[in-house]
Structure 1
Amino acid sequence: MIVTVGDVAAGGHCVARVDGEVYFVRHALPGERVRIEVTDRKKRFAFADAVEILEASPDRVEPPCPWAGPGKCGGCDFQHATHEAQLRLKTRVLADQLTRIGGLDAAKLDGVAVEALPWKEGPLGWRTRMQYAVDPGGRAGLREHKSRDIVHIDWCRIASEPIRSAPVLSEDWKGMGAVGVVDSDDDELAVYTQLRRTSRPHRKRGPATVHQRVGEVEFELGFDGFWQVHPAAAGAFLECVLEFLEPREGEAAWDLYAGAGLFAAGLAETVGESGRVVAVENAKSSHTAANLADWKHAGAIDGDVAATVPALGGVDIVVLDPPRSGAGPEVVASLVEARPRAICYVACDAGALARDVKAFADHGWEPKRMRAFDAFPMTQHFETIALFEPSE
């Protein structure tokens, strides 16, 4: 059918309404008149692709990747929009999630807009971690959107130049379920594989331990350890967190879901030797304790955040970077009970942040400052950093 597309929604869709029915449309932009093809129908709504653009938005461009579009690679959501338009779309998604789900007054979001991160290739060539699916014949590729089907691309336009130049897509990976490539600050790529029906990676070639640098500090982590995939993200996030928290000499600080200890290291530098920093992380591949070894007043606990925080006592400042599902009411309650003066929340999902905003509000806390970063150009994803303090 032919529809006129409305505003953007979370998930890389825009919303169209026809005769009381709601359609979440991919590959469209607000205001466009498009022909759609339904891809999945639910009880109260349906998903669809825009397969023909009849009246285009002025924000529409030709996708830089020939594998972007209906029935093709599902990795990028907004290649058909200018980068400036992508930033506006993500800003609207953030505002919608925080007001509709989080219950925030829209006025509190005045001036908050998703910011571009500086990169030599702009919105392309930034992704330093790639994982490809492998078909039964041993060829690697990328999956279609919400599908097990594999699209065999020539090369990925958002992958970093070293990954683009690697011969991974032309090699035979028969018997494997996936193959991944890690582009770190080392000179050599780490390549790993995964067997089918398991998520445990096995290093194929390259270093078992990789290194990432932020300023003068070097972080070591396993080839499968977590690190931000945009080259400018880690430094920008650390700068924002320290600006928001304004750590003071002698303060006690926590870095929860610490990963390699990026924020813990920054906090250790700023609270000084009279302060103390505790990082909590349960992934051994992060090497958190080793990365904090240079600071005698900082240490790491190998454990689950929800189980660990209640036993840590009081604290002055907290930074947490939870998984996509968010921190959750239990962790939020534990943080508030520790009576910090401020909590900085790094969120990779606006909906999860919105749910936790509501959980904080139940304890009399609210976001006082907020910034958002386009750490994943061409996709629907972005990162948000919020400073929570007790409501006045």
Structure 2
Amino acid sequence: MTEPAPTRPAPTAPAPQLIELSIGAPAHGGHFVARHEGRVVFVRHALPGERVLARVTDGGADAGFWRADTVEVLEASADRVEHPWAPADALAAAKAGRPPVGGAEFGHIALAAQRRLKGEIFAEQLQRLAKLEREVTVEAPEGEYDDGLGWRTRAAFGVGPDGRLAMHAHRSDELIPVQVMPLAVDAINDLRLWDLDLTGLERVEVAAPADGSTPLVLLVPAAGTTPKRLAKLAERIEPGVSVAAWEPESGRLTRLRGRTWVAETSGAHQYRVTGDGFWQIHRLAPATLTSAVMDGVAPRAGERMADLYAGAGLFTARLADAVGVTGNVLSVEGSPAASKDARKNLHGFGQIEIVQGKVERVLRSQAQVLDAVVLDPPRAGAGKAVVQAVASRKPRVVGYVACDPASFARDLGYFLQLGWKLDSLRVFDLYPHTHHMESFAVLTPGTN
């Protein structure tokens, strides 16, 4: 008996290109929830209560859910406003036959409404992932501009086939030319990099410190670009600006002009941040978050502290000031480059111990008692193992800085399972016109 030939699976039917939707609640990630014939659709560039025409961007007829972009508003919300940046305006982009630039997906929403929606999203994540009911208010940082623009001290651009600066559409390799970046500080826009022919580069990253010190432009070369070509490109950039070549795969940083780091200031302390090293993006974020951390953790003279995921030492220096020479601060950072920066930034503090390595591993190897811990993990969060390691040290308080409500809520759930409690929570709108937000939570051991 002959074995039957294998049958070819039936092709997946395509989703309809355009669908009419009634928009519901906001969802984490910059989307709003709608339904089409019983299927969930995550829609961008919409608002609750609106009726829109949307283009399906992801998902076939057999997919469990679809993603879609709003292309026309049939019934508008009272919270809809004119977008401050034309390339990121979904409606204008649809008329031009292209997708919008990513990175300003809430620009069509009034600022007060953006913050209200972010509070709803954060509260939903707490309820779903930490099983905690809590109303959340999102604060604007003190000194924020009324229009929510001009806050980014870091910006990244692609380089199009014509050698001009461009930015990616959301979840796409498509590059869209840009002539200005309204979310960025003036020092970035004043460089006018979009006027230059940057052929030979894959992308460009810019850091312009909020204190007005020298900006740094990182040139990421395309395959085959020679050092001579990079040197010529550096000459095209405005004098007085530092320029370096950066190869992300190897981490190699080559000085082309000026220095390979920027000088940042927070309070009485100065910091150097090398290359693409992490620093809070919003011009007001270092002061806003440092103030929240110091108020929430309330470090005391002589205490032993830990600053985990410490980066270049933003919080470490202030904690060391507070505990004094009789105290101790353990600074832990996984990135070798950031840890090297921290050693330079904190070299005058005898009470600081700087360790480069994975947080969980370092905590397992360190036997010292901790009175307080500050956590500032990357977007993925700290994770269960780190939470357990922190809790096992029995600190009187943990201050948790988070840039993602979902990973924070998950980690908060781990703390709650260990008997800890959420003492206070502040959420800051440090990414206006985007769905992102920053938070600071004070966690304390339970009485059980």
TM-score of the superposed pair, with normalisation by structure 1: 0.95
Match of 1:127 in 2: 152
Distance 1:202 1:372, change over 3 A: farther
1:317 to partner: Cα distance: 0.2
Instruction: Choose the corresponding residue for 1:305, options 329, 349, 359.
Output: 359
Match of 1:51 in 2: 71
Match of 1:174 in 2: 199
Distance 1:204 1:325 in 2: 34
Instruction: Choose the corresponding residue for 2:139, options 112, 115, 133.
Output: 115
Instruction: Choose the corresponding residue for 1:22, options 34, 40, 49.
Output: 40
Alignment map for 1:283-298 (pairs within 5 Å)? 283-286=335-338, 287-298=341-352
Contact 2:400/2:440 (<8 A) preserved: yes
Alignment map for 1:175-214 (pairs within 5 Å)? 175-184=200-209, 185-196=211-222, 199=248, 200=251, 202-214=254-266
Match of 1:337 in 2: 392
Q: Which moved more, 1:316-325 or 1:279-288?
A: 279-288
Structure 2 residue 305 is the aligned partner of structure 1 residue 253: yes
Contact 2:307/2:329 (<8 A) preserved: yes
1:101 counterpart letter in structure 2: L
Any idea what SS the aligned residue of 2:317 has? helix
Any idea what SS the aligned residue of 2:407 has? helix
Alignment map for 1:62-77 (pairs within 5 Å)? 62-70=82-90, 71-77=99-105
Q: Which moved more, 1:174-183 or 1:190-199?
A: 190-199
Structure 2 residue 51 is the aligned partner of structure 1 residue 33: yes
1:202 to partner: Cα distance: 4.8
Q: Which moved more, 1:304-313 or 1:50-59?
A: 304-313
Q: Which moved more, 1:91-100 or 1:12-21?
A: 12-21
**Structure of higher CA gyration radius:** 2
Q: Which moved more, 1:319-328 or 1:61-70?
A: 61-70
Any idea what SS the aligned residue of 1:67 has? helix
Q: Which moved more, 1:147-156 or 1:171-180?
A: 171-180
Distance 2:147 2:320 in 1: 33
TM-score of the superposed pair, with normalisation by structure 2: 0.83
Contact 2:214/2:263 (<8 A) preserved: no
Match of 2:114 in 1: 86
Distance 2:425 2:324 in 1: 26
Alignment map for 1:228-247 (pairs within 5 Å)? 228-247=280-299
Which structure has more RCO (C-alpha within 8 Å, separation ≥ 6)? Answer: 1
* C-alpha RMSD over aligned residues: 1.6
Deviations 1:219-262 (A, max 9, x none): 12213221111111011101101111111111100001001111
Distance 2:373 2:70 in 1: 44
Distance 2:259 2:208 in 1: 11
Distance 1:45 1:175 in 2: 40
Any idea what SS the aligned residue of 2:363 has? helix
Contact 2:107/2:433 (<8 A) preserved: yes
Contact 2:401/2:439 (<8 A) preserved: yes
Distance 1:225 1:121, change over 3 A: farther
1:88 to partner: Cα distance: 0.6
Distance 1:203 1:115, change over 3 A: farther
Deviations 1:180-224 (A, max 9, x none): 111023532211112348524555544322111111111122132
Any idea what SS the aligned residue of 2:87 has? coil
Structure 2 residue 197 is the aligned partner of structure 1 residue 143: no
2:289 counterpart letter in structure 1: F
Structure 2, unaligned runs of 5 or more: 1-18, 91-98, 224-246
1:119 to partner: Cα distance: 2.6
1:114 counterpart letter in structure 2: V
Distance 1:67 1:361 in 2: 43
Structure 2 residue 391 is the aligned partner of structure 1 residue 391: no
Match of 1:155 in 2: 180
